[in-house]
Amino acid sequence: MADHVLAIDQGTTSTRAIVFDATATIVGVAQREHEQIFPRAGWVEHDPVEIWTSTEWVISACLSRAGIEASDIAAVGVTNQRETAIVWDRRTGRPVHNAIVWQDTRTQPRLDEIAAADGAGTFRFAEETGLPLATYFSASKIAWILDHVPGARAAAARGDLLFGTPDTWVVWNLTGGARGGIHVTDVTNASRTLLMDLVTLDWSDDLLEVWGIPRAMMPQVRSSSEVVGTSQLPDVLHGVPIAGILGDQQAAAFGQAAFHAGESKNTYGTGNFLLVNTGTDIVRSDSGLITTVAYRREGEAAHYALEGSIAVTGSLVQWLRDNLGIIQRSEDVETLAATVDDNGGAYFVPAFSGLFAPYWRPDARGALVGLTRYVNKAHIARAALESTAFQTRDVIDAVVADTGRALDELRVDGGMTRDDLLMQFQADILGIPVVRPKVVETTALGAAYAAGLATGVWGDLDELRAHWREDVRFEPRMPDDERERRYRMWRKAVSKSLDWVDDDARALMGTEGD
């Protein structure tokens, strides 16, 4: 009997396939990076065709490395970068434009217009969607494609175009593409579009009208854990049920066994994302967090969460590598940062796409402050790592303000958590233990769990919780007065990054009028 689960993790910088056995142990991994396309300042794109060909490759390579075949796979789970928008022709399967990535800021002028239209401001649709008006989410990206690709709006009106976040694109291609592919998403990804009603868990006709998006473009919204179709990928994965879909951060929470109200996790990836489960209650934030869907199992009520979304953390390390060249590999940042005892007085605010939670300031831009002749590249590397920890404290303080309850510990996952220096500083700046599990690839694990639950590989949530194992617990060592002094300096640095984007800045960046 098939008792393995394949997770496809379509992320911001790469696509991975990981096979787990029935004990939730990894038995095979394959990964391939894809190109980051930056046509202009503030624009970030991916090639959807490259994403799909990478997906095909990692599936085949992963199964080969695991030494198993399709007949050994009980189910496939898919997880993905959430708000990235792809629009393609249903007849040909060809994208009409590159994917517009969640980090992209080109649609800010349109958002400003909508926010100002009736004086409601940034939180005009927050009651219905749980989200502020921000370039982060999908709706404005879809509208931009329809408005800027010749013939796209007319094709959409005819019903020829489909929209999806990367989960939808991958599942559509897995299930046949232009030859009968299934056009679906799940509630977690749908909740990131600015188009879904949190109560009905379906697309809002009123919001679709605001953005001028035909309902026929939108995928069917399904549960996070249910069989939605079967793979038609020849030879490698043909006939295997696709039974789990979760946005990457919700998948990470599921993989961390944060199933119930009050349970949380923080993922350290391209950005950082703190999720706190609020159970079946929709909890509104007064402190700059967003309300999102945590997961939904077939036939059950949805679980919701508060989320603190941080745009730039791991991608700052990539920026040090690719743009400045001060490290050769991303993992070298810890070695370099460890050659100095502190940041030398330098603070790095990586507001490359503005600041997300808890500030929601699209006018902010990156700032490296406190520089003296003493500061060297090691101090900059350390300041870059510390910025991740400081931003995490920002959103955890917001959680405490909203819930009235401090966190006892912080469960962490994602690639950056392998960096012991960062994890220790995180514990120090929070003043609570930081706990790293044995399996840090919890995003893929969560997608596998969702798929395995729907197909009988695992019986219930308690069985999944029993798989969780602690690896390392980082205890805070920094004195309280030093912790607060450093955090005050961080907040001062953040203040220097604000109010940067104005008409002059837009003109100099070549984005005025877009």
pLDDT in tens, 17-61: 999 999 999 999 999 999 999 999 889 999 999 999 999 999 999
Over range 461-467, report the average pLDDT: 91
Q: Is 23 annotated as a binding residue?
A: no
Distances (CA, A) of 490 to 316, 475, 483: 17, 22, 11
Asked if pLDDT for residue 507 goes beyond 70, the answer is: no
Q: Using alpha carbons only, how large is the chain's radius of gyration in Å?
A: 22
Please tell me the least confidently modeled range out of 86-95, 113-122, 318-327: 113-122
Q: What is the mean pLDDT of the chain?
A: 92
pLDDT class for 484, splitting at 50, 70, 90? very high
Of the candidates 113, 306, 273, 360, which has an alpha carbon nearest to the alpha carbon of residue 198? Answer: 306
Q: Is 511 annotated as a binding residue?
A: no
| CA–CA distance, 219 with 161 (Å, rounded to integer) | 11
Q: Is 220 annotated as a binding residue?
A: no
73-80 and 161-164 as β-strands: parallel, antiparallel, unpaired? unpaired
Q: Is 12 annotated as a binding residue?
A: yes
pLDDT for 235 equals 81
Asked if pLDDT for residue 513 goes beyond 90, the answer is: no
Beta carbons within 8 Å of 406's beta carbon, 6+ residues apart:
400, 432
Of the candidates 11, 132, 140, which has an alpha carbon nearest to the alpha carbon of residue 80? Answer: 11
| CA–CA distance, 396 with 24 (Å, rounded to integer) | 29
Over range 150-162, report the average pLDDT: 96
| CA–CA distance, 369 with 494 (Å, rounded to integer) | 9
pLDDT for 441 equals 79
pLDDT for 28 equals 94
Of the candidates 209, 196, 11, which has an alpha carbon nearest to the alpha carbon of residue 103? Answer: 11
Q: Is 14 annotated as a binding residue?
A: yes
Distances (CA, A) of 243 to 74, 133, 146, 447: 9, 32, 31, 9
Q: Give 46 or 502, the one with higher predicted confidence.
A: 46
Q: Based on the number of CB atoms within 10 Å of its own CB, is 332 exposed (0-12), middle (13-18) or buried (19 or more)?
A: middle
Over range 471-484, report the average pLDDT: 96
pLDDT for 406 equals 85
Coil, helix or strand at residue 77: strand
Q: How far apart are the first and last CA of the chain?
A: 55
pLDDT class for 226, splitting at 50, 70, 90? very high
Q: Is 335 annotated as a binding residue?
A: no
Question: Is 255 in contact with 403 (CB distance < 8 Å)?
Answer: no
pLDDT class for 512, splitting at 50, 70, 90? very low
Asked if pLDDT for residue 269 goes beyond 90, the answer is: no
Asked if pLDDT for residue 511 goes beyond 70, the answer is: no
Q: Based on the number of CB atoms within 10 Å of its own CB, is 471 exposed (0-12), middle (13-18) or buried (19 or more)?
A: exposed
Question: Is 399 in contact with 308 (CB distance < 8 Å)?
Answer: yes
**Bridge partners (DSSP) listed for residue 9:** 16, 79
pLDDT class for 488, splitting at 50, 70, 90? very high
pLDDT for 514 equals 45
Query: Residue 476 carries which side chain, given as an amino acid letter?
Result: P
Asked if pLDDT for residue 318 goes beyond 60, the answer is: yes
Q: Is 209 annotated as a binding residue?
A: no
Q: Is 256 annotated as a binding residue?
A: no
Q: Percentage of residues in the chain with pLDDT exceeding 70?
A: 98
pLDDT for 509 equals 65
pLDDT by residue (tens digit) across 399-443? Answer: 999 888 888 889 998 888 999 999 999 999 999 999 998 877 789
Query: Residue 298 carries which side chain, given as an amino acid letter?
Result: E
Q: Is 314 annotated as a binding residue?
A: yes
Coil, helix or strand at residue 42: coil
Q: Is 103 annotated as a binding residue?
A: no
Burial 63-79 (b: 16+ CB within 10 A, else e): beebebebebbbbbbbb
- Long-range (24+ apart) CB contacts under 8 A made by 501-505 are 501/354, 501/362, 501/363, 501/364, 501/365, 502/363, 505/365
Q: Is 483 annotated as a binding residue?
A: no
- Give me 163's structure tokens: 């929209």
Question: Is 31 in contact with 16 (CB distance < 8 Å)?
Answer: yes
Q: Give 470 or 490, the one with higher predicted confidence.
A: 490
H or E, element range at 410: strand 410-413
| CA–CA distance, 309 with 247 (Å, rounded to integer) | 13
pLDDT class for 362, splitting at 50, 70, 90? confident
Query: Residue 292 carries which side chain, given as an amino acid letter?
Result: T
Q: Is 16 annotated as a binding residue?
A: yes
Q: Is 215 annotated as a binding residue?
A: no
Coil, helix or strand at residue 125: coil
What phi, psi does 61 have (nearest 5°)? -65, -40
pLDDT for 183 equals 98
Beta carbons within 8 Å of 357's beta carbon, 6+ residues apart:
288, 289, 290, 307, 308, 309, 310, 394, 395, 398
pLDDT class for 506, splitting at 50, 70, 90? low
pLDDT for 120 equals 74
Q: Percentage of residues in the chain with pLDDT exceeding 90?
A: 76
- Give me 135's structure tokens: 């370039």
